[in-house]
């Protein structure tokens, strides 16, 4: 198929492998799995080892912590509820999330936590799905009192330890003022977790149970979930966060006995584990306008909403400014353009990928995007977190080389 106009050139795929091998032989990335797909042709590379000191080789079915690359998948649960009219975009979330009713909002984004005014309107479903409900990571105000308070109460990253169960987590969130009025500013991360709680309360099921029933099982995503069970733990590598000064491999999370080996009390929207093939199935469904074979998973309209820009010009420029200030740390990951529901959407051409490409990347060294122009899906999974630019550089080179491999 290397010479057909539906897939990739043989030479291009060879170069892709060479570029990825370079990152592994440099000893910066112990191992990786890459999957690229176009026009019915799928190509997979598994390079290197699970551990930085050798051990088992990477395999096509190695399971990775997806981190924020989970967001495009977990947010699909909310899209099903929109499709079924169990949620409406512009309805307030108060009936399900009473902790977020009657918000106070900071007078100044960087101001003291007690200097507030009442919210001008309730938080809506749309605000949560577009990451504009008024709180979140804002690279412009990392030193603000609200950032410190949010981090202290709600963070459950590697550094902070696991989150409590959802009701307690929501109670803590409800004690905080918003940083911005609802719907005004795009802010990263927090809204996705709140949306996950919303899904769970509307359905009366855990986020995982609902996702499994409606997305994961129908798509055959058998290795995707919120933890790795004991019978698969040998397929999970350790997660490394190299020391920014020395480059030494510090273990952020061990496989057996680590955080990923037991079900979390809080099913955060960025806590999925998955494989390259599972992600391929999901993004292929999005490219197929919501269809998987002859089965409809999401409506065509829901997929269009998710995978196209939902931000206003003002919100776009704020998001661009935020990410351009950290682009040198992330080799430009996430720096181009808009936001749909739970994923980035390119609204301008800033590198090798076309306008309209959708997907996201994760702080554990993962990336997955698709684009309709080329009917292309790419997934690159590593076990190296973004404490250094090493895995973002590998991601950057992956996309740069992949777009040259189009026949």
DSSP character at residue 240: E
pLDDT tens sequence across 220-233: 999 999 999 999 99
Structure token pair of residue 279: 């992600």
pLDDT tens sequence across 238-287: 999 999 999 999 999 999 999 999 999 999 999 999 999 999 999 999 99
> What contacts 141, CB < 8 A, 6 or more positions away?
109, 110, 147, 179
19 pLDDT more than 70: yes
133 pLDDT more than 80: yes
Q: So what's the pLDDT on residue 254?
A: 97
pTM: 0.96
pLDDT tens sequence across 337-371: 899 999 999 999 989 999 999 999 999 999 999 99
pLDDT grade for 5, boundaries at 50, 70 and 90: low
Tell me the C-alpha distance between 298 and 289, whole Å. Answer: 8
Average pLDDT over residues 148-174: 93
For every residue of 99-163, which 3-state class applies, written as one string? HHCCCEEECCCCCCCCCEEECCCCCEHHHHHCCCCCCCECCCCCCCHHHHHHHHHHCCCCCCCCC
90: left (phi over 0), alpha (psi -120 to 50) or beta: alpha
pLDDT tens sequence across 279-337: 999 999 999 999 999 999 999 999 999 999 999 999 998 888 888 888 888 998 988 88
289: left (phi over 0), alpha (psi -120 to 50) or beta: left
Tell me the C-alpha distance between 133 and 194, whole Å. Answer: 10
Nearest to 240 by CA among 17, 65, 61, 10: 65
């Amino acid at each position: 198929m290397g010479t057909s106009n539906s897939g990739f050139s043989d030479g291009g795929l060879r170069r892709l492998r060479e570029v990825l091998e370079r990152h592994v032989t440099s000893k910066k990335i112990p191992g990786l799995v890459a999957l690229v797909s176009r026009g019915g042709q799928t190509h997979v590379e598994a390079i290197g080892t699970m551990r930085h000191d050798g051990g088992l080789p990477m395999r096509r079915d190695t399971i990775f912590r997806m981190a924020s690359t989970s967001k495009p998948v977990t947010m699909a649960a909310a899209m099903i509820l929109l499709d079924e009219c169990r949620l409406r975009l512009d309805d307030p979330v108060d009936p399900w999330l009473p902790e977020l009713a009657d918000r106070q909002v900071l007078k100044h984004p960087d101001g003291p936590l007690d200097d507030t005014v009442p919210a001008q309107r309730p938080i809506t479903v749309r605000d949560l799905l577009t990451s504009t409900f008024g709180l979140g990571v804002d690279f412009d105000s990392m030193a603000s009192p609200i950032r410190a308070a949010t981090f202290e109460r709600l963070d459950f990253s590697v550094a902070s330890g696991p989150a409590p169960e959802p009701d307690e987590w929501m109670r803590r969130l409800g004690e905080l003022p918003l940083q911005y009025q609802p719907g005004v500013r795009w802010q990263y991360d927090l809204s996705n977790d709140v949306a996950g709680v919303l899904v769970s309360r509307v359905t009366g099921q855990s986020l995982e149970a609902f996702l499994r029933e409606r997305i994961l099982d129908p798509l055959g995503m058998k290795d995707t979930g919120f933890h790795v069970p004991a019978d698969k733990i040998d397929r999970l590598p350790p997660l490394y966060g190299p020391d920014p000064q020395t480059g030494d491999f510090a273990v952020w999370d061990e496989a057996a006995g680590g955080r990923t080996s037991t079900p979390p009390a809080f099913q955060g929207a960025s806590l999925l584990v998955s494989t390259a093939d599972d992600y391929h199935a999901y993004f292929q469904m999005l490219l197929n306008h919501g269809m998987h074979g002859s089965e409809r998973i999401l409506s065509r309209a829901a997929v269009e909403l998710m995978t196209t820009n939902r931000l206003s010009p003002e919100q776009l420029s704020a998001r661009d400014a935020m990410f351009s200030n950290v682009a040198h740390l992330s080799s430009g990951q996430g720096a181009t353009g808009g936001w749909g529901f739970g994923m980035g959407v390119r609204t301008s051409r800033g590198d090798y990928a076309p306008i309209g490409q959708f997907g996201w990347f994760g702080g554990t060294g993962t990336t997955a995007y698709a684009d309709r122009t080329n009917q292309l899906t790419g997934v690159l999974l590593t076990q190296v977190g973004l404490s250094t630019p090493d895995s973002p550089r590998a991601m950057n080179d992956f996309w740069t080389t992949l777009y040259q491999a189009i026949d």
